[in-house]
Amino acid sequence: MKAVAITEYGKPNVLRMIEIDIPKIRRDQVLIKVEKTSVNYADVKTRQGQGVRAKLPVIPGLDAAGVIVEKGAEATKFQVGDRVIAFPSEGSYAEYVSADENLTFAIPDEVDFDTAAACPTVSFLSYKLLAEIARLEQGESVLIHSASGGVGTTAIQMAKILGAGKVIGTVGSEAKVQVALEAGADHVIVYEKEDFAGEVNALTGGKGTNIILDSLAGSITQQSFRCLADYGRLIQFGNSSGEAGIIKTNDLHKSCRSALGYSLGSTRKKRPETLGKTAEQVMRYLKEGALNIKVGHRFPLDQAAAAHELIESRLSTGKILLDLQQQ
């Protein structure tokens, strides 16, 4: 089968098309013929060798949408021919992937492959962050950093679905403001031009926001505490700025505020059983049309390097897909 692999750590041009064997599945796994897969910033970090470096070549990719073509003897939830999304055992930039049955989820008939492929990482993550980690309550205000990206535009919608009152987004440039507004943000702040903490305080009558979703880290984390309300929750789930943020204990105890961390990747590995309920909720929102995953860009598999260049440029909006049926 064809796959795109990281042949050495570095820039996008290290991504190369290779021929490898179709994965062999265990008794509790399914084999999926991939229709489409999404590109996530975590794929860039894998390509750059950030974190644990695996033996090369490595296939990147977190999630996939496709059709089951084989199932193990102990995989009883699905049948051959079922349309599914999955978090595969190995990378998803490939024509076929194997996946544990408990990390595979049915696609409703009403949901097309584009939407399904775009949804797993961003929608599962958004639901977990807001519903379970932040425990969003009806009418609470939410600040979402990087609001025009795949996670950002999905989290804006998810916050509204779950009953948020005011949803405020931050973006890096004027060109991205409209994207966040179209996703449903009530206000959008360009943090490179404005003091976002001051603007948030003004928009909330000086009280600050109840929940902050922070995937940037660095100085953004520190500034965020200037606009986090008493009893507010800051959820830290990434460091796309490339810098660590500093959280001071005196920003927490007297104001009864919390700093919480979350990783969907860790949850897939350590608590996969918790994702079943998440999948049910997400698929219901998609089927009902309450959640609309914005697909901003599509590339054939052999142009994965161009997709990486785009996501690194910070010029992308919405989700980036690799279409394995487009050659």
Tokens of 260: 């919480």
Split into its structural domains, the chain has a count of 2
Predicted pLDDT at 276: 94
Top pLDDT among 77 and 327 is at: 77
Domain that holds residue 318: 2-119+293-323
Question: Is 143 within a domain?
Answer: yes
CA distance 253 to 158: 29
Would you say residue 327 has pLDDT above 70?
no
Are 110 and 221 contained in the same domain?
no
Same domain for 70 and 26: yes
- What residues have CB less than 8 Å from 150, skipping those under 6 apart? 38, 40, 118, 121, 122, 293, 294, 318, 319, 320
Q: Are both 109 and 134 inside the same structural domain? A: no
CA 22, CA 9: separation in Å to the nearest integer?
24
Closest C-alpha among 37, 238, 221, 75 to residue 151: 238
Does 149 lie in the same domain as 78?
no
> Residue 36's beta-bridge partner residues?
65, 323
- Asked if the structure places residue 161 within a domain, the reply is yes
Asked whether the beta carbons of 158 and 127 are under 8 A apart, the reply is yes
DSSP characters over 153-217: HHHHHHHHHTT-S-EEEEESSGGGHHHHHHHT-SEEEETTTS-HHHHHHHHTTTS-EEEEEESS-
DSSP 28: T
Q: Based on the domain organization, do 132 and 249 belong to the same domain?
A: yes
Looking up residue 173, the CATH number of its domain turns out to be 3.40.50.720
pLDDT for position 314:
75
What span, in angstroms and rounded, lies between the C-alpha atoms of 91 and 43? Answer: 9
Three-state DSSP class for residue 317: coil
Average model confidence (pLDDT) for the chain?
93
Both 111 and 242 in one domain: the answer is no
Note the pLDDT of residue 248: 85
Residue 284 within any structural domain of the chain: no
Higher-pLDDT residue of 26 and 240 is 26
pLDDT at position 216? 85
**Do 127 and 194 reside in the same domain of the chain?**
yes
Radius of gyration of the chain (CA): 20
Mean pLDDT calculated for residue range 257-266? 95
Residue 198 located in a structural domain: yes
Distance CA(324)–CA(326), nearest Å, equals 5
pLDDT at 54 over 80: no
Q: Are residues 141 and 231 in the same domain?
A: yes
Measure the CA–CA gap between 207 and 215, rounded to whole angstroms.
23
**Residue 120 backbone dihedrals phi, psi, to 5 degrees:** -55, -60
Residues 156 and 260 in one domain: yes
Residue 146 lies in a domain: yes
- Whether 278 maps to a domain, the answer reads no
* Average of per-residue pLDDT across 192-197: 90
The tens digit of pLDDT for each residue in 199-222 reads 999 999 999 999 999 998 888 889
If asked whether residues 90 and 199 sit together in one domain, one would say no
How do residues 92-148 score in pLDDT, each as one tens digit? 999 999 999 999 999 999 999 999 999 999 999 999 999 999 999 999 999 999 998
The answer to whether residues 180 and 238 belong to one domain is yes
Mean pLDDT of 315-327: 82
Whether 103 and 217 map to the same domain: the answer is no
